[in-house]
C-alpha cells in the first residue's frame, strides 16, 4: 500500500506536521517556533518528518522564490458546484521537507490571519481538506498526522468522515496539539455545513456543536486519536472550568488520551556565547560580570541612566489580558522606585500600550516603553536585564522564561501552566531555585514577590548570582522534549496498548 510498512517490520515512521505557521516562513507566536524546531530535533534515521502550511503570499520572497511546484489539482469543497484549485509547493530547509498549500483566493494576504473569524474558519477548513487531498498526490503516506491548534482541527474530522473509505489513509493516526485553548475557530453551523459538506448529524453536542455554533478545535479534540498540550501543568489545568474555555468536560472525558510535553527553545538561536544580536557575549562562567556590561550598553541605547547597580526588570510580551498586565498596572508606581529600571518590549491591546507609555512619561528615567516588536532589541534585553516579569493569568507553556534562564535573567512568574513546570522557586534556606514565583492572581502577591527578588539582589548578591548560574545550567533545549514526542509516536503506532 503505497510502500507503507507496519511499525513492527520497518523502522522509518512517517510523521506529517500540519499547522498555520512555522518559522522561518511565517510567525505570529510560539506555535511557529514549535512547528519549526521540533521536526529537526527528531531522530532522522527513524522518523521522516515533513511539515505542511498554507502558501501565504506574505511569506518572504527569499523563501517563496525558491519553492518548487510539485503538482496541482481541483478539489470538491463543501456544497459548492465548482471545484477549488489546490497547488502543492515544496521546499527543503534545515534538512526538513516543507509543503505549502497554494490557493491565492484564500492565502493571498499581508498577514497570515485576517480580522474576520468567519473568513479564517473558511480558509482553514479548506486548508485541512486540501492537506488530506494532497498527500496521495505527493505519495507521502503519514503514519501520524500531528495537527497543531484550531487551524488544523478539521483534519482528524475529515480523516474519520470524508476520507474514511480512502485506502491511502488506512492505519493513519492523528494527534491534536493545543498551543492555546483560548482560540478555537468558532462560527455558525450553517457556515460549517456549507464549507465542509459534512452531514448534519456531525454537528451535535458530542461532536462539532459548541453553544449552538460549530468549533474546529473541538472537532479535532473529539476525533483525534491522541491529544497533547505544551506543558504538564496546563494539561491538568484545562480539565477545570477556570482554564478549560468551556471544553473542560470534553477534555476530562478524554483525559486518558491527553498529556502535556513542555516546549523547548532553539539553543542555536538563543545562545549568549554566540548570539550576534547582543553587545557582549558570555557563558555561565563569566555571566555575572558580562551581564553588567550588557546592561550598561542597553541603558545607553534606550536613554536610561547608565548604572550597573540599577535593578533592571524586563517585560517581553504580547500586551494582552492573558499576560497579567492588569496586575502590573496596579503596582507600577510601586515597582519603579529610584533603584529600579523597567523596560518593556511588545505590542497588543491599546489600553496596555498606552499604560506603559503613560508610565514612561511619568518616570522617563526609570521606564522605557518600546511599543513595537524588535527581535534584536529583545535579545539585548534578555542579556541585559536582571529579572524577567511573566505574571500571566494563564500560560500554556511560555518561551520567555526559558530564554531568560538561558541568558541568566531571573524569571519572576506566576505558578501557572508551563511557568510552574519550568521555574523552580527560590528557597533561601536550602539555597535552591532558578527564579521567584507567586501562586494567586493578585497584584499585592506580585508586588511582594518582586520586592523579595529585589531584596535578594541588593542584600544577598552572592545568593542572587547563584540563582543566575543555576538557571543558566538548566537544559530546556528541544532534546528532552523531542525524546518524549518520539516515545509518544511509537506508543501510538503500537496501538496505545502498552
pLDDT of amino acid 1: 34
State residue 3's pLDDT score.
40
Average pLDDT over residues 412-419: 98
Same fold, 13-264+479-493 and 287-475: yes
d(CA 300, CA 303): 5
Which whole number is the average pLDDT over 114-121?
97
CA distance 51 to 46: 16
- The DSSP result for 395-447, as a single string, is -SS-SHHHHHHHTTPEEEEESSHHHHHH-PBPBTTTTB-SBEEE-SS-HHHHH
Q: What is the pLDDT of residue 2?
A: 37
Give bridge partners of residue 75 from the DSSP assignment: 84
59-73 pLDDT, tens digit per residue, is 999 999 999 999 999
Q: Which CATH class is domain 13-264+479-493?
A: alpha beta
Q: What is the pLDDT of residue 11?
A: 74
- The string of pLDDT tens digits covering residues 238-283 is 999 999 999 999 999 999 999 999 999 989 889 999 999 999 999 9
Give yes or no for residue 498 having a pLDDT over 90. Answer: no
pLDDT single digits (tens) 448-488? 999 999 999 999 999 999 999 999 999 999 998 999 999 99
Is 45 in a helix, a strand, or coil?
Answer: coil
What is 287-475's CATH number, 1.10.760.10, 3.40.50.2000, 3.40.50.1970, 3.90.1150.10? 3.40.50.2000
Assess whether pLDDT exceeds 80 at residue 75.
Answer: yes
> Residue 129 above 50 pLDDT?
yes
Residue 10 predicted with pLDDT over 60 = no
Query: Looking at residues 305-316, what average pLDDT do you find?
Result: 97
* Count of Cβ atoms closer than 10 Å to residue 337 Cβ: 12
pLDDT at 29: 83
Section 330-346 average pLDDT: 96
**Would you say residue 9 has pLDDT above 50?**
no
- Give the residue-averaged pLDDT of 124-128: 98
- 344 vs 359: CA distance, rounded Å: 11
Q: Which three cell numbers stand for residue 87?
A: 497547488
168-210: pLDDT as tens digits: 999 999 999 999 999 999 999 999 999 999 999 999 999 999 9
Pairing of the two strands 387-390 and 410-414: parallel
Every domain of the chain and the residues it spans: 13-264+479-493, 287-475
E strand segments, 179-268: 186-188, 209-210, 213-215, 226-229, 258-260
Does the pLDDT of residue 5 top 50, yes or no?
A: no
For the chain, give the mean pLDDT.
Answer: 95
Count of beta carbons in the 10 Å neighbourhood of residue 104: 11
Predicted local distance difference test score (pLDDT) of residue 495: 82
Quickly list H helices, 139-200.
154-159, 189-196
Using one digit for the tens of pLDDT, what is the confidence trace for 199-235? 999 999 999 999 999 999 999 999 999 999 999 999 9
Q: What does the pLDDT look like over 353-388, one tens digit per residue?
A: 999 999 999 999 999 999 998 999 999 999 999 999
In the predicted model, what is the mean pLDDT of residues 429-440?
Answer: 98
Amino acid at each position: 500500500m503505497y510502500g507503507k510498512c507496519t511499525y513492527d517490520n520497518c523502522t522509518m515512521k512517517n510523521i506529517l506536521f500540519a499547522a498555520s505557521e512555522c518559522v522561518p516562513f511565517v510567525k505570529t507566536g510560539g506555535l511557529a517556533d514549535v512547528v519549526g524546531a521540533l521536526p529537526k530535533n527528531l531522530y532522522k534515521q527513524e522518523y521522516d518528518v515533513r511539515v505542511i502550511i498554507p502558501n501565504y503570499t506574505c511569506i518572504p520572497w527569499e523563501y517563496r522564490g525558491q519553492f518548487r511546484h510539485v503538482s496541482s489539482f481541483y478539489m470538491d469543497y463543501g456544497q459548492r458546484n465548482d471545484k477549488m484549485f489546490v497547488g502543492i509547493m515544496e521546499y527543503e530547509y534545515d534538512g526538513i521537507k516543507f509543503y505549502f498549500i497554494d490557493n491565492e483566493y484564500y492565502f493571498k494576504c499581508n498577514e497570515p490571519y485576517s480580522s474576520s473569524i468567519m473568513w479564517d474558519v473558511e480558509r482553514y477548513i479548506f486548508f485541512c481538506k486540501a492537506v488530506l487531498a494532497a498527500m496521495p498526490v505527493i505519495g507521502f503516506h503519514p503514519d501520524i498526522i500531528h495537527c497543531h491548534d484550531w487551524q488544523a482541527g478539521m483534519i482528524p474530522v475529515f480523516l474519520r468522515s470524508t476520507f474514511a473509505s480512502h485506502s491511502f489513509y488506512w492505519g493513519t493516526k492523528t494527534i491534536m496539539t493545543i498551543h492555546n485553548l483560548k482560540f478555537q475557530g468558532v462560527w455558525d453551523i450553517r457556515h460549517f455545513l456549507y464549507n465542509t459538506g459534512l452531514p448534519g448529524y456531525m454537528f451535535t453536542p458530542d461532536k462539532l456543536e459548541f453553544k449552538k455554533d460549530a468549533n474546529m478545535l473541538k472537532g479535532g479534540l473529539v476525533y483525534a486519536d491522541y491529544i497533547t498540550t505544551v506543558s504538564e501543568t496546563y494539561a491538568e489545568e484545562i480539565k477545570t472550568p477556570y482554564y478549560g474555555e468551556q471544553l473542560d468536560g470534553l477534555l476530562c472525558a478524554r483525559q486518558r488520551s491527553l498529556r502535556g510535553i513542555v516546549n523547548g527553545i532553539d539553543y542555536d538561536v538563543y545562545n549568549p556565547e554566540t548570539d550576534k544580536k547582543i553587545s557582549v557575549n558570555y557563558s555561565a562562567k563569566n555571566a555575572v560580570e558580562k551581564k553588567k556590561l550588557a546592561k550598561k550598553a542597553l541603558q545607553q541605547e534606550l536613554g536610561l541612566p547608565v548604572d550597573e547597580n540599577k535593578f533592571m526588570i524586563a517585560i517581553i510580551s504580547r500586551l494582552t489580558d492573558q499576560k497579567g498586565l492588569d496586575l502590573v498596572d496596579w503596582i507600577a508606581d510601586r515597582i519603579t522606585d529610584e533603584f529600579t529600571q523597567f523596560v518593556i518590549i511588545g505590542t497588543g491591546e491599546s489600553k496596555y500600550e498606552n499604560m506603559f507609555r503613560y508610565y514612561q512619561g511619568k518616570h522617563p528615567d526609570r521606564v522605557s516603553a518600546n511599543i513595537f516588536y524588535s527581535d534584536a532589541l529583545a535579545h539585548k534585553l534578555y542579556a541585559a536585564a536582571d529579572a524577567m516579569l511573566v505574571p500571566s493569568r494563564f500560560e500554556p507553556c511560555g518561551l520567555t522564561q526559558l530564554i531568560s534562564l538561558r541568558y541568566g535573567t531571573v524569571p519572576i512568574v506566576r505558578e501557572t501552566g508551563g511557568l510552574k513546570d519550568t521555574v523552580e522557586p527560590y528557597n533561601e534556606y536550602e539555597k535552591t531555585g532558578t527564579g521567584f514565583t507567586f501562586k494567586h492572581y493578585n497584584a499585592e502577591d506580585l508586588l511582594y514577590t518582586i520586592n523579595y527578588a529585589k531584596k535578594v539582589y541588593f542584600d544577598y548578591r552572592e545568593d542572587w548570582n547563584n540563582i543566575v548560574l543555576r538557571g543558566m545550567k538548566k537544559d530546556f533545549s528541544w532534546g528532552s522534549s523531542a525524546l518524549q514526542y518520539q516515545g509518544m509516536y511509537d506508543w501510538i503506532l503500537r496501538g496505545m496498548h502498552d
